[in-house]
Structure 1
């Protein structure tokens, strides 16, 4: 449970927790209000599943962010801290799109009798859906300022423990970016897949089951890609890069499919949200492929000792994290650890 004892470290953690608490409370109210307004006796339709799915992913997004925040601060990972600010921006976009999507879903459900005629759901939830992106925007600015201050603190730690070798610093920076990208890839891929499987209908059985199978396969790929990078195992990285290209082709295909006249009716209830997730995921996969190639090129150039698992030593808690750095300057006897 170790965190660096720094004012800005705790400020970043507390600010993120505060944002998550407010956002989850808003989304939980919208979710509860919608569920209580549903009329009894109706079968589930793709449109009726959109609002619970949107809100569930939104809530999971903030819980996952808290995990990444703790991980970033514990490892003093400047790249991941910056990435979390961009992640927050992605959640802001999602909240803004969610407003229109939920409005359309409620109007459709009211016109078909799925929502009780006496319930004015949209009037009740509209202020909360307006407040959500505004609150996230404010917290994004606050987190960006704190991240800027943390960058100065964590950069000094890197300087002390990676020596003044600029080439080694660049290699380590590339490794940091790559590991951070893998963590963000997980959320956006999972968010896209869950919405796709729960809401989209009219799919061929083969396409549906391939999508289901892709979830555990993708998680394994992300885990092994981090493992192979730490161990500088080139055959594994070549396989990973190939699979990333396959994933890129899949998301481009699904993005095009959503706008084909012959298939677009299946995606209408969730097309805007799926488009945002697909575009962000495509950008992340392209960046991941680029960094994977650069990391592979950096193998056997002296970075491996800095990223292998080590212990802090003494009675302190053991840490086995892929990007903690030993103080090589003072030799193996020193067990001082630093950052991701």
Structure 2
């Protein structure tokens, strides 16, 4: 089992763990502070799901980030490290806009009543006043963590450079093709978060009306996304042209669905619309990288990555072809300078 051995790899993992623990605790406090001001009837209104949606998204985001951080450090992938910095920047933007979104939702709920005249918020409570300090603190925590991620990533850049140089020692054209494969696989991992996050938000808002078919379709789509991304990685590594073409078509279908949703999401749900837009951009980028990988099939990338894995396996007790390292085409090895 991999364990960070250097100061900067430990620091990168520590920043991710501390941010996840502190930010998740603050988000949980916000959820409790707001939920205790809600009347039971609030679940019938879409805006009543705003806080639970943010809570679910942040918890999922931080947990998934821990997996990606461990994966990136284990495989010494600078591409994924850079992706994690951008990923955390997206979380920061969400944390910054979260207070305005929640405040707007609470004001909307306070001014509305049920069909029989009952309030949606408990009279005499101050949900916004109770949750505002935690929301501000959450944004500050994520901002500090983002700055630390970028700072430590800069240190890791030089630390990983030697490992990558040893692993990818082919000609320039081969390095470019291997880099495209690495970027595609890394992009698929981030796609999983954004697609699942979008579907989860869509499902939460659709739950205001359990009779809508979209609620059940979102549940089924979650399983489909997991299957498609797994097949995308397998097809790319095995250079399966038919499978990769099917994956590209599936991503075009996802892009079309996202375009449709962008035109139908209420303007009041600003952050949901923003998340859908980011997911659409990620999906289009994935399509582009898939096409580039498809063009490189049959040009030696598969043979090169397999030879690198066989060479690396001599230093391992057991070759793990399903490990994240294999997905990047190489397994980090200790440099002679470390001895």
TM tier, smaller: 0.7 to 0.9
Q: Which residue number in structure 2 is paired with residue 133 of structure 1?
A: 139
TM alignment of 1:179-328, pairs within 5 A: 179-200=185-206, 205-258=212-265, 264=266, 268=268, 271-308=269-306, 312-313=313-314, 316=317, 318-320=319-321, 321=323, 322-323=326-327, 325=329
SS at match of 1:89: helix
TM-score (norm 2): 0.87
Q: Which residue number in structure 2 is paired with residue 31 of structure 1?
A: 31
C-alpha displacement of 1:244:
1.0
Question: In structure 2, what is the Cα distance between the partners aligned to 1:29 and 1:16?
Answer: 20
C-alpha displacement of 1:43:
5.7
1:7 aligns with 2:7: yes
Q: How many residues align?
A: 322
Q: Is residue 20–residue 63 contact of structure 2 (8 Å, CA) maintained in 1?
A: yes
Shift of the 208–125 alpha-carbon distance from structure 1 to 2, 3 Å rule, reads closer
Deviates more, 1:96-105 or 1:36-45: 36-45
Say what the alpha-carbon RMSD is for the aligned residues: 2.5
C-alpha displacement of 1:195:
1.2
Q: Is residue 46–residue 199 contact of structure 1 (8 Å, CA) maintained in 2?
A: yes
TM-score (norm 1): 0.86
1:145 aligns with 2:145: no
**Aligned to 1:177, which of 170, 183, 188?**
183
C-alpha displacement of 1:293:
0.7
* Offset from partner CA, 1:180-216 (integer Å, 9 cap, x none): 1111111111111111122145799455544433221
Deviates more, 1:5-14 or 1:204-213: 204-213
Q: Which residue number in structure 2 is paired with residue 332 of structure 1?
A: none
Note the residue ranges of structure 1 that are not aligned, 5 or more in a row: 259-263, 328-334
Question: In structure 1, what is the Cα distance between the partners aligned to 2:4 and 2:175?
Answer: 22
Question: In structure 2, what is the Cα distance between the partners aligned to 1:85 and 1:132?
Answer: 17
SS at match of 2:327: coil
SS at match of 2:99: helix
